């Protein structure tokens, strides 16, 4: 799936927030966290990106932790 990374980063509040969110979620997924979307991939970064793009995770979710 192709996404405009610049647009996704803007929607997360900037590149730093976007990168931080994806790294944190990818680490959770690598630690066997449950996927929030059905995706035929084992790549935690790809899964995290798709979860964000589909609206399943957001930076606000991370701020609550």
- Which of these, 26, 9, 8, lies nearest to 17 by C-alpha position? 9
> How many whole angstroms separate alpha carbon 2 and alpha carbon 49?
10
pLDDT at 64: 53
* Residue ranges making up the domain that contains 25: 5-63
> How many whole angstroms separate alpha carbon 23 and alpha carbon 49?
10
CATH number of the structural domain spanning residue 51: 3.90.940
* pTM: predicted TM-score of the whole model, two decimal places: 0.84
DSSP for 8-51? HHHHTTSHHHHHHHHHHHHHHHHTTPPPSS--S---HHHHHHHH
Per the structure, how many domains does the chain have? 1
Residues with pLDDT less than 70, the chain:
1, 59-65
């Amino acid at each position: 799936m192709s996404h405009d990374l610049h647009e996704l980063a803007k929607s997360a509040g900037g590149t730093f927030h976007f990168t931080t969110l994806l790294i944190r979620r990818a680490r959770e997924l690598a630690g066997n966290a449950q996927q929030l979307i059905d995706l035929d991939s084992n790549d935690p970064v790809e899964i995290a990106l798709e979860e964000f793009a589909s609206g399943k995770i957001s930076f606000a979710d991370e701020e609550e932790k």
